[in-house]
A and B are shown apart, each in its own frame.
Chain A
Amino acid sequence: DTAVSQTPKYLVTQMGNDKSIKCEQNLGHDTMYWYKQDSKKFLKIMFSYNNKELIINETVPNRFSPKSPDKAHLNLHINSLELGDSAVYFCASSQEWGTSYEQYFGPGTRLTVT
């Protein structure tokens, strides 16, 4: 069983569209995250949720809205997609909120906006 799964793996869409990426973890973890990796492989945290509550919201346009229906799921909805949103988006989870807990990453969703 995959620990952290994301769907879809690839997403190609046009500017102005609205899309969602889903993430599920079966590890029983309390904390989940979304990261964005740009074309140069630079990784940046976007959001962090602990027990379904938003903990971190970095400087991300409000077109990006995370939703956590339960502890095992953290979905990312993006409105009015722009060319600059093209990137690989990674979901991750960790056991608890704390510095030394390993984060487990999903396989990524490659979003291409044309």
Chain B
Amino acid sequence: GDSVTQMEGPVTLSEEAFLTINCTYTATGYPSLFWYVQYPGEGLQLLLKATKADDKGSNKGFEATYRKETTSFHLEKGSVQVSDSAVYFCALSHTDMLTFGGGTRLMVKP
């Protein structure tokens, strides 16, 4: 079946540092790929998505590129802020069912 693997956290960075959160997936065919973010005490919000190979999703300074050859969808941001502290979930979807990775907690210190 489908699966998503993310790097384990927590990831602790200083403000303005470069962020990479690795995500790889196992799936048949061509799923859509997503990054969701969960701020403390809140539900998940879609951060960005890509629906086909080589697509780049971007939002709020975050980017991720759909790499079919490496089955990856790594999340990057050039300069993180304290307000980016949250749990980040990589996910894929074939039909309408999201399969999530285990989540990566990001802590950004001033």
- Extra pairs beyond A42-B102, A97-B95 (6, CB < 8 Å): A42-B103, A48-B96, A56-B96, A104-B46, A105-B36, A108-B43
Are B43 and A99 closer than 8 Å at their CB atoms? Answer: no
Taking Cβ atoms with an 8 Å cutoff, the residues of A that contact B are: 4, 31, 40-45, 48, 50, 55-56, 90, 92, 94, 97-108
User: Which of B38, B49, B89, B96 sits near A98, CB closer than 8 Å?
Assistant: B96
C-alpha spacing A90/B102, complex, angstroms: 16
Shortest beta-carbon distance from B54 to chain A in Å: 16
Shortest beta-carbon distance from B26 to chain A in Å: 16
Shortest beta-carbon distance from B7 to chain A in Å: 14
How many residues of B sit at the interface, in one of the four size bands? 20 to 34
Within 8 A of A (CB), among B42-95: 42-46, 49, 51, 87, 89, 93-95
Q: Binary interface profile of B, 8-47, with partner A (CB < 8 Å = 1, else 0)?
A: 0000000000000000000000011000101001111110
Q: Given A43-B89, A55-B96, A94-B96, A102–B103 Cβ distance below 8 Å? A: no
User: Which of A40, A92, A102 sits near B102, CB closer than 8 Å?
Assistant: A40
